[in-house]
Structure 1
Amino acid sequence: MELFNSAFGKNITFVRPAYFVINGFIGLPNMKSYYIFLFFLYIISVVGNTAVMAIIYLDHNLRTPKYVAVFNLAFVDLLGSSALVPKVIDVFLFNHNIIPYNDCLTFLFFCYTCLSMQSFNLVALSYDRLVAIIFPLHYQVKVTCRSMLTLIASFWIFAVVAVLIAVGLLTRLSFCKSLVINSYFCDHGQIYRLACNDNFPNDVIGFFYPILIFWLPLVFILLSYLYISYTLVKVATFQQGIKAFKTCIAHLLLVVIYFTPLLITFTLMEKIHPNNRIINLSLTSVLPPMLNPIIYVLQTHEIKVSMKKLFRIFFKSKIRSK
């Protein structure tokens, strides 16, 4: 305690609260319908991502680097939405908006880790498309299942360590004022701004974290597609270029759906109203996981073929069992 007092000042006592209060939307009545809408999207997400993971696991023809990344994306989407939506429903539909301190930090850890991995997974898919189109003859050498697994594992380690640092820095904060979090979950920025003592390290993390998990991945993806476009214009015919870009449509749709709300939120920063921030971030957390499996099923020929084959096997086995 003496160490904390010396850091905060002799007359300041370190205060770790027993709980936080998640406030949700400010001044908007009858918002329970919005959370029901999020829950509906969550159910579709669970069914869709589970189906995509099952298809990739059951069909050995899909054991390729690209579908290793797609499988991980489906897993991250399932984990992230499951970490967020049931708790949000419990908080706002059943009025359990008081959340214990440790539970809040755990909630924050899983939400931010999965949000980070969604972004990094899009980078992995972008890298796969870049090599496949620019170096098609060397693709099987440069991009293997092992190298893709290594890349994804590196992203997981980085995401977990980065979020653990952010959570660890929150534990050094003293809270002697408001305990109300003006968000729909235990949001890092909303928490550290409630602290009474010096929150400069948390402010630094709050500044660099969007750069690491949002801006840098987005820049890499945009540059990779600019390079792909430049190369195709130089060496490929129009028909070849269209055919090559068709393999990127699903990924491009995922990038637009995921990054657009975040681009609005992180560009406007403090200028955006808290209610708009909640809508943007909540839709980013729920809408892409719901749409990702639908997009891959509709836009990816291999998965559609695999689904038809698995359905044929399933129905044949049912007929034989009768």
Structure 2
Amino acid sequence: MERENHSRVSEFILLGLSDQPEQKRLMFLVFLLMYLITGLGNLLIILAIRTDSHLHTPMYFFLANLSLVDICFTSTTIPKILVNYISGNKAILYISCLAQVFFFSWFAGLDSILLASMAYDRYVAICAPLHYTMVMTPRVCVLLVAMCWFGACANALTHAILLTQLSFCGHTEIPHFFCDLNVVIRLACSDTFINDLMIYTMAGLIALIPFIGILISYIHIFVAVLRIPSVHGKWKAFSTCGSHLTVVCLFYGAIIAVYFNLTSSHTAQQDTAAAVMYTVVTPMLTLSSIA
């Protein structure tokens, strides 16, 4: 009965990035522009890969999936930000907040695992080119992508279910521009030990393990490229990985700064700035991966 008395709130208040009218107008235009660029740009990538038979290769298959995920990823947070700026209403329903946590965790996890899959694809292409067609078969590519989707979904569903078990006792202001899992958990008045434990456990599986896999892949790639005799060959090999590696560094760097910062010195503003990087800026950089 005591658990029921700690009734779940019906809505949360997203404090956003700023309360200054001038800054809000500027941020609305910036977010809108970045959202349009990300959505239209990634959509064009998908259409180009779908219609051009020359692009029906494993690398572009992974890129098309990454572009789709980035469209969904930004659509989870940015439209709500834009609506809040237009209406002036910062409220978000509890169920909508829960849905945002689920989809954000799903697509963030997908980004992480797909980046690792792309790193593996480039590792095979550069380090074992003679075996590439035998290793990266269409069946293997589809299985890898399916595992990415279902694995990330299981991770997100776990966090969403555990979040429904928490009680919130009145403090409903979220110092963020979306319902971030870490921030929402801090508002709970019930025990969050299991939630915190699962964040670090699942994040280790979804973020750190793929990140380590990417590092290992690029170490082998770097060694293999150094063995290429011609300067042109080295430059061509590095150029196929440069954009991908840049996105990896920004995406994982921001996530690690937010979710694996064990010190108490970081602030909500720093968390928000890092979140802007991997929720808005990084998806835009996916557009350069086709180069």
Same fold (TM over 0.5): yes
TM-score (norm 1): 0.83
Shift of 1:85: 0.7
Q: For the residues of structure 2 that align with 1:215 and 1:57, how far apart are their CA atoms?
A: 32
Which residue in the other structure is 1:132 paired with? 125
Asked if 1:187 is matched to 2:180, the reply is yes
The one-letter code sitting in structure 2 at the alignment partner of 1:272 is H
Moved segments of 4+, more than 4 Å: 26-30
Give CA-to-partner distance per residue, 1:225-271, whole Å, 9 cap, x none.
112222343x4325343332232223223223323333433454542
The one-letter code sitting in structure 1 at the alignment partner of 2:13 is V
The one-letter code sitting in structure 1 at the alignment partner of 2:283 is P
Shift of 1:99: 1.2
Shift of 1:45: 0.8
Asked if 1:152 is matched to 2:145, the reply is yes
Q: Secondary structure at the match of 2:82?
A: helix
Which residue in the other structure is 1:19 paired with? 11
Shift of 1:28: 6.5
Shift of 1:92: 3.4
TM-score (norm 2): 0.91
Shift of 1:296: 3.4
Shift of 1:77: 0.7
Which of the numbers 283, 286, 289 marks the counterpart of 2:283? 289
Percent of aligned pairs with the same amino acid: 30
Are the equivalent residues in 1 in contact too, given 2:123–2:221 (CA < 8 A)? yes
Which residue in the other structure is 1:273 paired with? 267
The one-letter code sitting in structure 1 at the alignment partner of 2:142 is L
Aligned length: 288
Are the equivalent residues in 1 in contact too, given 2:105–2:155 (CA < 8 A)? no
Query: 5 Å matches for 1:227-306?
Result: 227-233=220-226, 235-239=227-231, 240-266=233-259, 268=261, 270-293=264-287, 295-297=288-290, 299=291
Unaligned runs of 5+ in 2: none
Greater alpha carbon shift after TM alignment, 97-106 vs 255-264: 255-264
Point out the structure with max Rg over C-alpha. 1
The one-letter code sitting in structure 2 at the alignment partner of 1:20 is F
- Report the aligned-residue RMSD: 2.1
Q: For the residues of structure 1 that align with 2:195 and 2:110, how far apart are their CA atoms?
A: 21
Q: For the residues of structure 2 that align with 1:279 and 1:59, how far apart are their CA atoms?
A: 38
Q: For the residues of structure 2 that align with 1:274 and 1:92, how far apart are their CA atoms?
A: 20
